[in-house]
Chain A
Amino acid sequence: MKYYDPFILPFTIGLYFIFTFLVVKYAIWIFRLPKPDLIKIGKGFFTVKTFSATKEVFMESLLHRKVFKVNPVLGYMHMSLAMGWFLLILFGKIGTLSFSQDFFNPVHYAIFFKFFEPEDPHFFYSKTYYFLMDTFLLFILTGVGLAVFKRFRSKIFGLKKTTKTKLGDKFALSALWLIFPFRLLAESFTSGLHHSGHYLTGSLGIFFAGFLPLEMLVYPSWWAYSLALGVFFVALPFSRYTHIPTEMFLIFLRNYGIKTGNEFSGFSQAEILSCSRCGICIDKCQLTVAGCENAQPVYFLQDLRNNELTPELAMNCLQCGRCEEFCPVGIDIKKLRLIPRNELTSDNADFGYLPAAETRKAEVVFFAGCMTHLTPGIKKAMKNILDQAEIDYWFLDEDGGVCCGRPLILAGEMDSARQLIDYNRKLIFDSGAKILVTSCPICLKVFKKEYHLDVEILHHSEFILRLVEQGQIRLNKQLTRIAYHDPCELGRGSGIYDEPRNLINKTGTLVGSETEREQALCCGNSLGSFRLSAAHADHIMKDALDSLSTGNPDILATSCPLCKKTFSKAGKIPVKDIAELTAEAMSSNKDSIPEKKDFPEKNMDFAECRVCELEEEII
């Protein structure tokens, strides 16, 4: 038989195995997609979306643009392996087509071309072809070298910690590392024997021919190359390398508009298996600061894939979304973490006791939210501002009110939250307001995402800035240096970064800090976390505070009552909400000297009576 030798069997068997496996798996996933998602695929398939998905596959799966953004060396390592291998296959195929003039030559013919044609036959542009093949191989080998180096020293890749590997991963990893050195040896030995090969394989061949019995080594080296390929292909579905084909599949689904739902579906399966366990999220996750070793997204997804997820792991997440900002695959980790939470609880809360509250007609509805009620300074400042601007407003939850529903959603209790949402929604709707203002980013997010309101929903920083720009309130700029902390739910959650900053620039001088905007740190007291102990949360808070204090500011500003409360606890620096800053700048005279640095404001509420703070450390 033409183009046949027994050594190709491991490779061919492996290739057919992986091919069948993936086709069956993807078919099952597509079958398990909810109907609306299937319709989206059908509608999007013959549109420009397919092209944009192809482009994204090229940028992310081959060039690894997002990994480059995190760290150039890490990006190069991934790119050299992916792009190099892709080019090797592509050009290998083109070369064999050009030589054999047979479009239907078998796959292994291109992979083991050197074995079948050891004399380097001439064909159209064959010199260039041999040069390119050597270059691509060298390109990949540099990547493999870096990968091996990374196992021992991950620091130069910008990673303090690298992922702990499982048995299946170790198997596939070793095979992957061996594939290309084996190819190099096999090609060099063949070249040495036949006096062929280009600059890499040719010179190495001459070198080896000097002291090695190449006749005896050539055939085993081809076997080794084929075996390494075969082992890698067979191990691929059981290791993290499933991400290579699955990520491409995921990119296509995502481009057709499919999103992670409230239940596990074919799409979330694809997301889970797309995780490459690159370990970028390990350093970015603030639970690492708190000393939690196994709660990072990479381990969460790994446990989810292996059906080993413990309730502890599902509940231990701040939902700050920092991992998603850096994830090169773009997995919707926050949403995935909520699905197992839903499976844990009964989700049967009953809020039938809520009274039919009275509504008031007003232009603007102000919703303070539970957390603002625990920071009365913000409430007072907001009232002050709204009165000063002569706004016709209704303070919806002045007497306590009802929770917005977001904390229940974060507990995975969507149905229970729905009752609260309906209750508040009716109140807002009946008021006939055009604008809904809230001083809590946690409420803001749920208002925007789940309430489906017909009114304009604004965070108080946006609203106050608007008032200032419209001249309804006048601010006197002071000399205070202010650092701004981006709350997770406001920044990454709702994409509001500039409005609070503009407002700060009108009341004082904004000082930059190490971690800002998309990279902002969480204060540690997030409602998303259920398992984090008070002592652990304090670690995270102190770490974030250190990073915010790098510019040596006089005041720390934030626009979330929960963050304010958390940072005030440290007592290091006065913490103020955007509303409080504005209210102060509003009332002060033009001639007044800048305020002196004072102690953190004492709230009148109960929370500040932390009697035995020290004992928390015992927990």
Chain B
Amino acid sequence: METPENNKTRFGFGLTKGRQIDYDANDKKLCRFVVENEPSLLLCIGCGGCTATCTAAGFTDFNFRKLHHLLRRGEVFNLEKSMKNCMLCGKCKLVCPRGVNTRNVIFSLKRAFKMTDFSKTQ
């Protein structure tokens, strides 16, 4: 059987994974949990200030804005791995023009991944 990686490299061409957003298949449970714990996340205007100042983003592709985006969509498949990059330093919280408590968003996600009913979805 051909793996996606093989597809990618064949003759320099390949099939990319479908990019459509399937809201029926996506899991919004995690998003609900986080918003319940940190309602200020709903105030986000997606300005990206958090990502611009992020310490971890200097070394990795960790991106709070993208993380939030995917979370709201329910595409939570890679979040747990991504979370491990965060240093919780709080610079993002300080620069947020909307006063979103970003540290608690990350912490709520960490809490969720420790709970069994959320880790099953991974």
Residues on A lying within 8 angstroms of B by beta carbon are: 311, 315, 344-346, 348-351, 353-355, 370-371, 373-374, 400-403, 405, 407-408, 410-411, 413, 420, 525, 527, 530-535, 562, 565, 605-607, 609-612, 615-616, 618-619
Contacts and interface: CB of A to CB of B under 8 A. Distances in A.
Contacts of B39: 619
Given A346-B113, A400-B55, A607 B95 contact: yes
Contact of A345 (B43, B98, B111): B111
A370 B56 CA distance: 11
Contacts of B86: 349
B87 A403 contact: yes
B107 A530 contact: yes
A407 B89 contact: yes
Given A411-B88, A533-B101, 10 more contacts: A311-B111, A344-B111, A370-B90, A402-B55, A407-B87, A407-B88, A408-B87, A605-B53, A606-B95, A607-B49
B14 interface: no
B114 interface: yes
A586 B100 CA distance: 39
Q: What bracket does the count of chain B residues touching chain A fall in? A: 20 to 34
A355 to B, nearest CB: 7
Interface string B73-89: 00000000001111111
Interface string B86-106: 111111001101110101100
Which applies to chain A's interface (DSSP): helix, strand, loop or mixed?
Answer: loop
A403 B89 contact: yes
Given A354-B59, A400-B58, A606-B49, A345 B110 contact: yes
Q: What are the 10 closest A-B residue pairs judged by CB atoms, nearest first? A: A534-B99, A403-B87, A403-B89, A350-B84, A616-B99, A607-B95, A370-B89, A407-B88, A530-B104, A346-B114
Which applies to chain B's interface (DSSP): helix, strand, loop or mixed?
Answer: helix
Contacts of A373: 91
A38 B13 CA distance: 67
Contact of A407 (B49, B83, B90, B97): B90
A110 B43 CA distance: 69
A93 B104 CA distance: 58
B101 A606 contact: no
Nearest to A409: B88
A610 B114 CA distance: 34
Contact of B88 (A350, A408, A562): A408
Contact of A411 (B59, B95, B107, B114): B107
A351 B87 CA distance: 9
Nearest to B59: A353
A353 B61 CA distance: 10
B40, B91, B103 interface centre (most CB from chain A within 10 Å): B91
A281 B103 CA distance: 26
A129 to B, nearest CB: 63
A532 B85 CA distance: 24
A353 B89 contact: no
B52 interface: yes
A530 B84 contact: no
B60 A353 contact: yes
A374 B90 CA distance: 11
B98 A616 contact: yes
A419 to B, nearest CB: 10
B94 A349 contact: no
Contacts of B113: 346
A311 B91 CA distance: 23
A403 B55 contact: yes
A349 B85 contact: yes
Contacts of A534: 40, 99, 101
B40 A619 contact: yes
Nearest to A347: B110
Given A533-B40, A619-B99, A565 B94 contact: yes
Nearest to A352: B84
A612 to B, nearest CB: 7
5 contacts: A315-B107, A370-B91, A530-B101, A530-B103, A533-B99
Contacts of A349: 83-87
Contacts of B85: 349-351, 353
A344 B109 CA distance: 11
Contacts of B84: 348-350
A317 B21 CA distance: 39
Nearest to B58: A400
Contacts of B110: 344-346
Given A348-B84, A353-B60, A527-B90, A315 B95 contact: no
B87 A610 contact: no
Contacts of A405: 87
A311 B115 CA distance: 13
Nearest to A346: B114
Contacts of B101: 530-534
B83 to A, nearest CB: 8
